[in-house]
């Protein structure tokens, strides 16, 4: 029996869910060239504007000169170099944890942590709106898999009461498609009262939240007792690539011994670790980046509400404009692009059916004038979209 891939692709096109890769022909930044067109971009996760920072680039180049361009082996063979070790120590310090363990991607870090900690006879409980990597890790673990209502401690408590074996509660810190922040103090209290561990993926909070950029755990003042397993990614606010798990000495040693995505993967280039060390230095030193970003978020929300856009409950750099219908979201994105502004339409299955949106992301590299230009274009295009639908 042959695979009917043509029919599958045709169905996706017909549902306005077909995905295509834009070709970026410039470095990341507010001004980009995509598919040959110069655009003002509001759709990357470079929240602090470090992806193209000259000091980070210089650190990468110096690291390559000293350490070469490849990891060469897995960490447990001969791929764990001095820059990797120094980066792990810096990440542990930033997050207030005893240790951190470096991974090549956030997806790998999430799969590694979940599958190493729970298995058959255990329970994993996840927020319904968790990132795909967290959901996949829960399913692949072999543990009893359950999803509680979004950001709802009472729903979590009800499901924990039915849990078996060791129970791991898993949530995003900042939800990547809605931009809202998990109620971690309440979730931590529920988990601890029932003997469960809480795992938080702070991919979108690290660097943007907390006085020193330590993320959502710093903002809430939560230590390793409340959040035993903390995940962070380095390809967003840090502007480089990779991820880490931070926690107790015992947690990290358990991952080194049992986490297959860690054990059987070549380490990231040491030069990348050198670049990330520099970005962490800038992240902590340049507090103006978070202050400027907060001002841009307030500016955008006030302007969008004046236009009548349907915003979501987010005080983070992720500012989704809820459209609902996938075709309408694509059309609004197209109209913005015609006017030189790039904002990606996000559609199912990335978001629930009927909740397609334009996902605006703001960066400390944006200016107030650029945010105002975005608002002006939205004010021009959004009402005409409504008129066309009438």
DSSP class of residue 149 equals P
What the block records as the tokens of 163 is 């849990």
Active site residue 236: yes
Strand 144-148 and strand 31-34: the pairing is unpaired
What are residue 320's DSSP bridge partners?
A: 359
List the beta bridge partners of residue 57: none
Residue in the block written with tokens 């750099």: 317
Of 104, 133, 155, 176, which is the active-site residue? 176
Catalytic residue among 75, 84, 131, 204: 204
Residue 204 bears catalytic tag: yes
Gap between the Cα atoms of 353 and 176, Å rounded: 16
**Catalytic residue chosen out of the listed positions 236, 278, 292, 366:** 236
SS3 268: coil
Entry field: residues in the chain? 390
Using alpha carbons, list the distances in angstroms from residue 141 to 118, 170, 213, 343: 6, 13, 31, 35
Could you tell me the CA-to-CA distances from 137 to 108, 111, 144, 164, 268 in Å, in that order? 9, 4, 12, 18, 21
| 3-class DSSP state of 313 | coil
- C-alpha span between 40 and 42 (Å, rounded): 7
Going by C-alpha positions, the residue among 8, 240, 198, 223 that lies closest to residue 105 is 240
Please list the active-site residues: 176, 204, 236
């Amino acid at each position: 029996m042959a695979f009917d891939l043509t029919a599958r692709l045709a169905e996706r096109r017909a549902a306005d869910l077909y995905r295509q890769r834009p070709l970026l022909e410039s470095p990341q930044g507010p001004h980009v060239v995509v598919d040959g067109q110069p655009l003002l971009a509001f759709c990357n996760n470079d929240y602090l504007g470090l992806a193209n920072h000259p000091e980070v680039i210089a650190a990468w180049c110096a690291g390559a000169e000293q350490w070469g361009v490849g990891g060469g082996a897995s960490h447990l063979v001969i791929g764990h170099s001095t820059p990797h070790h120094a980066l792990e120590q810096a990440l542990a310090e930033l997050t207030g944890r005893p240790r951190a363990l470096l991974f090549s991607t956030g997806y790998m870090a999430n799969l590694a942590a979940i599958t190493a900690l729970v298995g058959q006879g255990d329970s994993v409980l996840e927020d319904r709106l968790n990132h795909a990597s967290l959901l996949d890790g829960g399913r692949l673990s072999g543990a009893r898999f359950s999803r509680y209502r979004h950001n709802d401690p009472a729903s979590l408590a009800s499901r924990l009461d039915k849990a078996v074996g060791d129970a791991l509660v898993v949530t995003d810190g900042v939800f990547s498609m809605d931009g809202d922040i998990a109620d971690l103090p309440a979730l931590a209290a529920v988990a601890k009262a029932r003997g469960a561990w809480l795992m938080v993926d702070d991919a979108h909070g690290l660097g943007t939240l907390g006085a020193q950029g330590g993320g959502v755990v710093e903002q809430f003042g939560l230590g390793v007792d409340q959040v035993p397993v903390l995940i962070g990614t380095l390809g967003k606010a840090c502007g480089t690539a990779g991820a880490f798990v931070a926690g107790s000495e015992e947690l990290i040693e358990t991952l080194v011994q049992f986490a297959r995505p860690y054990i059987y993967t070549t380490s990231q280039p040491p030069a990348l670790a050198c670049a990330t060390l520099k970005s962490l230095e800038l992240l902590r030193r340049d507090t103006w980046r978070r202050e400027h970003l907060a001002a841009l978020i307030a500016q955008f929300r006030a302007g969008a509400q004046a236009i009548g856009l349907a915003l979501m409950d987010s005080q983070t750099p992720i500012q989704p404009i809820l459209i609902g219908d996938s075709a309408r979201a694509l059309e609004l994105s197209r109209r913005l692009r015609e006017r030189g502004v790039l904002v990606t339409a996000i559609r199912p299955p990335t978001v629930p059916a009927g909740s397609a949106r334009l996902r605006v992301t703001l960066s400390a590299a944006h200016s107030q004038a650029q945010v105002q230009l975005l608002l002006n274009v939205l004010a021009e295009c959004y009402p005409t979209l409504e008129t066309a639908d009438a």
